[in-house]
């Protein structure tokens, strides 16, 4: 299971008693525990009820839910298991995509590291007597050059670069390098240069050393016989480091570079001139810099969107409003890919927590991955609990369909495959017009652009073409073109493509449509017409097209126009027949998350409203017997902050402290009868009259509780403390929900 998906469903760890005073947690509405006498009585009364029969478990830890009727907890358990399966697949896909986008740059960096290491070793290996001395070797000034790689990340937020440099470290370690990473906190004025050295020793020697001495590192390198492997130090973000500390650190490394062949890699978020703005001149003179450029955040975003939302890694999808919100959220967060991935994770969690039939995604995922027989029992459990839920009225049925689960899933799978192919084919053309994939995706998911066809036209088309039900299933909607839209721009762009670019597009279409034979055959026909060119061009001419620039226009002048018209017609047919948005598909609720309001609240949040709801509707969170039976009345067993804020609803924007205190005192001093907990099962032969017991509470203790509750409400941002002009009033800050 993916650890990141598991953390969403695990309960928060409890703090130990020793660090309660220093562990600052968010405010929660707490409930007072009942007295020990009552708990003992309730335990005696409920002994017989606690003897529950455990249901047998399967070999994989999955309960055999077919022996009894499924309840909410069992279905929730299935959804959580499916959530872990789906998100682990998504997370693995995202990491693989990000690694693949940087693998070429990583190979260039690794090659440069060993070239720099060979240049350092060209000056000779220090002798044993020189290497054993606890100070740097005395060499020429040109031998003290520190080879430095400046990695341009093109990202203002370092949060996206943490994973990039972590993957770079793994890549260099796999090629025999010794790698240590330093963050901006370790290169701050507070840590100083001693903190940098201790961090290097801790990462390379794998032990904690109190002394900050570079001779310890030099002795370790010499004794282990690592003269064939370089030492690479990665600094994630040079702009966030303290300039004086980093300058001293660079000068010190250059002094030891003969004994310890250290190569420096620094991340630069802005421009190549950033080191000159941060470092001192004497430190800059020690650097021999090389430049490496990573992909931009937009390029990485498009790669992630293509792999997660278009290719067939899993069937999870999002609605149009959710896609538009995610695009705005990505742009407003300075283009951080981490924020987009976090939003996708929350959307996935929200979908599986809200949709009753979302656990059916596990069946599609297991079937696509061809997993072993350990998941067979899990697949058998799913359909047995989906049949009853499919009859729900909120799942819209198409005329002629039934509630057969296999047919529903196969239709959704077939739709997803063809829809993804259409969007990817459009994107291959849109690359030449600088159309972003996220913009194209938002328009492809818009249900307003697909108007339903009338029943007369639909039946006429079905009779003319002799289509089956599955084909008429796709002809119920028609794409209504918008001239300024991205889809129309892409379709028009096909006419303006040069011959060599059109050939590239056709080759990419051939690769994309390989999984759908009928579409793939049309692409092959287009490619064949392009290659033949009225019989005057051969495949050898196509292969040598880029080398013969002078004859390029003569090869395709006669047939390029007709092929472009055919390609444009092909795109039009793909869009009109196969690119129906997910919200127009029956049973799309199984795979699609479209509640943008819940996602927006989870990401942006409304903390003040959430605090008010928790204080006023605490019964839904606590779920105790006494409070749930008396919803409209305040009980002294409730938390003081809850009582105080509920009483504050009776006042306006100004609350008189004396009246508020008297109301609070009246509630907490109210006697609470203990005899209500007695039941017939725990009655004793000896009858005695139960009298309500009233705890003696002094005014001082009630005033202390009152002051504490007022302070908590002030910290929560719901109250403003009394002013000097009106010391007997507090002001309410938040009104309404």
Element spanning 68, H or E: none
Asked if the structure places residue 283 within a domain, the reply is: yes
User: How many CB atoms are located within 10 Å of the residue 92 CB?
Assistant: 12
Residue 440 has a pLDDT of 92
Pairing mode, strands 450-452 and 592-593: unpaired
Residue numbers of the domain that contains 642:
607-668+699-732
Burial class (CB in 10 A: 0-12, 13-18, 19+), 522: middle
Using CA atoms, how far apart are residues 578 and 482, in angstroms rounded to an integer? 18
Residue 110 has a pLDDT of 95
Asked if the structure places residue 638 within a domain, the reply is: yes
Place of tokens 């660079």: 250
Q: Are 146 and 139 a contacting pair, CB within 8 Å?
A: no
- Does the pLDDT at position 597 exceed 60? yes
CATH code for the domain in which residue 649 is found: 1.10.10
Using CA atoms, how far apart are residues 273 and 630, in angstroms rounded to an integer? 68
* Alpha-carbon torsion, ordered 393, 398, 402, 408, to 10 deg: -90
Residue 72 has a pLDDT of 62
Asked if the structure places residue 692 within a domain, the reply is: no
DSSP state, 258? T
Asked if the structure places residue 307 within a domain, the reply is: no
Using CA atoms, how far apart are residues 731 and 737, in angstroms rounded to an integer? 17
Burial class (CB in 10 A: 0-12, 13-18, 19+), 143: middle
Q: Is 123 helix (H, G, I), strand (E, B) or coil?
A: coil
Asked if the structure places residue 495 within a domain, the reply is: no
Q: Are 479 and 490 a contacting pair, CB within 8 Å?
A: no
**How much is the average pLDDT of 503-515?**
91
Q: Identify the band that residue 180 occupies on the pLDDT scale cut at 50, 70 and 90.
A: very high
Count of domains for the chain: 2
Using CA atoms, how far apart are residues 210 and 197, in angstroms rounded to an integer? 10
DSSP state, 288? E
**pTM score:** 0.68
The length of the chain is 737
Within 431-559, residue ranges assigned H as helices are 437-444, 455-465, 469-472, 486-496, 499-512, 517-532, 539-543, 552-556
Using CA atoms, how far apart are residues 421 and 489, in angstroms rounded to an integer? 18
Tell me which of 295, 310, 345 is where a domain ends: 295
Non-local (6+) Cβ contacts of 700 within 8 A are none
Using CA atoms, how far apart are residues 619 and 116, in angstroms rounded to an integer? 67
Asked if the structure places residue 190 within a domain, the reply is: yes
- Does the pLDDT at position 124 exceed 70? no
Range of weakest confidence among 104-113, 454-463, 629-638? 454-463
Q: Is 82 helix (H, G, I), strand (E, B) or coil?
A: helix
Asked if the structure places residue 169 within a domain, the reply is: yes
For 224-250, the pLDDT digits (tens) are 776 788 999 999 889 889 999 999 999
Tokens at 708, concatenated: 């504490």
CA 637 from chain centre, in angstroms, equals 41
Q: Is 506 helix (H, G, I), strand (E, B) or coil?
A: helix
Non-local (6+) Cβ contacts of 531 within 8 A are 537, 538, 539, 542
Using CA atoms, how far apart are residues 162 and 358, in angstroms rounded to an integer? 33
Within 533-686, residue ranges assigned H as helices are 539-543, 552-556, 560-578, 596-603, 607-616, 619-622, 625-629, 640-648, 657-668
Phi, psi of 396 (to 5 degrees): -75, 130
Using CA atoms, how far apart are residues 528 and 539, in angstroms rounded to an integer? 10
Q: Are 177 and 231 a contacting pair, CB within 8 Å?
A: yes
Using CA atoms, how far apart are residues 667 and 39, in angstroms rounded to an integer? 23
Using CA atoms, how far apart are residues 322 and 621, in angstroms rounded to an integer? 29
Tell me which of 295, 325, 357 is where a domain ends: 295
For 443-458, the pLDDT digits (tens) are 999 988 877 665 555 4
As beta bridge partners, residue 232 has 179, 263
- Does the pLDDT at position 712 exceed 70? yes
Range of weakest confidence among 554-568, 579-593, 623-637? 554-568
For 269-281, the pLDDT digits (tens) are 888 888 999 999 9
Asked if the structure places residue 275 within a domain, the reply is: yes
Tell me which of 247, 269, 295 is where a domain ends: 295
CATH code for the domain in which residue 135 is found: 3.40.50.300
Non-local (6+) Cβ contacts of 693 within 8 A are 671, 674
Residue 147 has a pLDDT of 93
C-alpha angle 410/416/422, rounded to 5°? 140
Burial class (CB in 10 A: 0-12, 13-18, 19+), 374: exposed
């Amino acid at each position: 299971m993916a650890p990141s998906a598991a953390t969403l469903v695990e309960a928060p760890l409890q703090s130990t008693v020793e660090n309660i005073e220093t562990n600052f947690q968010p405010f929660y509405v707490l409930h007072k525990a009942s007295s020990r006498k009552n708990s003992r009585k309730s335990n005696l009364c409920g002994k017989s009820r606690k003897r529950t029969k455990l249901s047998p478990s399967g070999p994989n830890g999955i309960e055999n839910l077919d022996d009894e009727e499924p309840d909410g907890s069992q279905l929730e358990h299935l959804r959580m298991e499916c959530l872990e399966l789906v998100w682990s697949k998504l997370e693995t896909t995202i990491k693989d995509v990000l690694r693949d986008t940087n693998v070429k740059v990583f190979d260039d960096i690794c090659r440069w590291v060993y070239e720099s290491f060979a240049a350092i070793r060209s000056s000779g290996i220090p002798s044993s007597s020189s290497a054993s001395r606890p100070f740097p070797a005395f060499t020429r000034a040109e031998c003290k050059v520190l080879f430095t790689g400046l990695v341009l990340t093109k990202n203002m937020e370092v949060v996206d670069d943490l994973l990039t440099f972590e993957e770079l470290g793994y890549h260099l370690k796999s090629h025999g390098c010794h790698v240590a990473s330093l963050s901006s906190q370790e290169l701050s004025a507070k840590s100083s240069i001693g903190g940098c050295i201790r961090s290097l020793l801790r990462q390379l020697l794998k032990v904690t050393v109190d002394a900050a001495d570079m001779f310890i590192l030099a002795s370790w390198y010499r004794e282990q016989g690592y003269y064939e492997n370089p030492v690479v130090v990665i600094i994630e973000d040079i702009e966030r480091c303290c300039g004086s500390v980093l300058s001293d650190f660079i000068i010190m490394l250059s002094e030891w570079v003969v004994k310890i062949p250290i190569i420096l890699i620094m991340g630069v978020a802005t421009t190549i001139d950033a080191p000159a703005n941060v470092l001192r001149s004497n430190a800059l003179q020690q650097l021999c810099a090389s430049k490496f450029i990573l992909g931009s955040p937009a390029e990485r975003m498009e790669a992630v969107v293509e792999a997660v939302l278009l290719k067939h890694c899993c069937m999870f999808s999002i609605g149009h409003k959710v896609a538009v919100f995610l695009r705005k959220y990505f742009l407003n967060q300075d283009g951080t890919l981490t924020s987009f991935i976090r939003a996708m994770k929350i959307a996935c969690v929200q979908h599986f927590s809200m949709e009753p039939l979302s656990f059916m995604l596990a069946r599609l995922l297991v079937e696509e991955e061809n997993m072993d027989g350990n998941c067979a029992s899990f697949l058998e459990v799913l359909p047995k609990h989906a049949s009853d839920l499919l009859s729900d009225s909120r799942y819209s049925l198409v005329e002629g369909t039934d509630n057969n689960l296999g047919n529903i899933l196969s239709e959704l799978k077939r739709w997803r495959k063809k829809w993804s192919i259409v969007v990817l084919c459009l994107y291959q053309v849109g690359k030449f017009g600088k159309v972003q994939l996220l913009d194209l995706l938002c328009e492809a998911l818009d249900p307003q652009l697909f108007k339903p066809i009338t029943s007369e036209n639909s039946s006429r088309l079905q009779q003319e073409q002799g289509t089956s039900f599955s084909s008429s299933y796709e002809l119920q909607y028609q794409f209504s073109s918008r001239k300024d839209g991205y889809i129309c721009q892409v379709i028009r762009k096909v006419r303006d493509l040069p011959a060599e670019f059109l050939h590239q597009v056709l080759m990419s279409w051939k690769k994309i449509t390989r999984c759908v034979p009928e579409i793939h055959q049309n692409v092959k026909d287009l490619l064949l017409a392009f290659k033949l060119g009225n019989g005057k061009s051969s495949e050898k001419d196509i292969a040598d097209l880029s080398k013969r620039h002078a004859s390029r226009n003569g090869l395709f002048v006669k047939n390029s126009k007709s092929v472009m018209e055919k390609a444009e017609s092909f795109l039009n047919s793909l869009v009109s027949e196969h690119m129906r948005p997910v919200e127009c598909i029956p049973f799309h609720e199984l795979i699609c998350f479209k509640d943008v309001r819940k996602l927006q609240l989870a990401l942006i949040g409304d903390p003040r409203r959430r605090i008010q709801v928790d204080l006023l509707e605490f019964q839904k969170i606590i779920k105790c017997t006494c409070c749930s039976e008396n919803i409209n009345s305040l009980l002294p067993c409730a938390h003081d902050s809850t009582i105080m804020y509920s009483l504050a609803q009776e006042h306006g924007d100004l609350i008189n402290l004396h009246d508020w205190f008297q109301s609070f005192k009246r509630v907490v001093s109210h006697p609470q009868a203990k005899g209500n907990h007695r039941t017939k099962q725990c009655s004793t032969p000896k009858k005695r009259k139960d009298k309500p017991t009233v705890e003696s509470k002094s005014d001082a203790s009630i005033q202390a509780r009152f002051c504490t509750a007022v302070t908590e409400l002030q910290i929560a941002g719901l109250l403003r403390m009394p002013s000097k002009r009106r010391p007997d009033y507090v002001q309410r800050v938040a009104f309404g929900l």
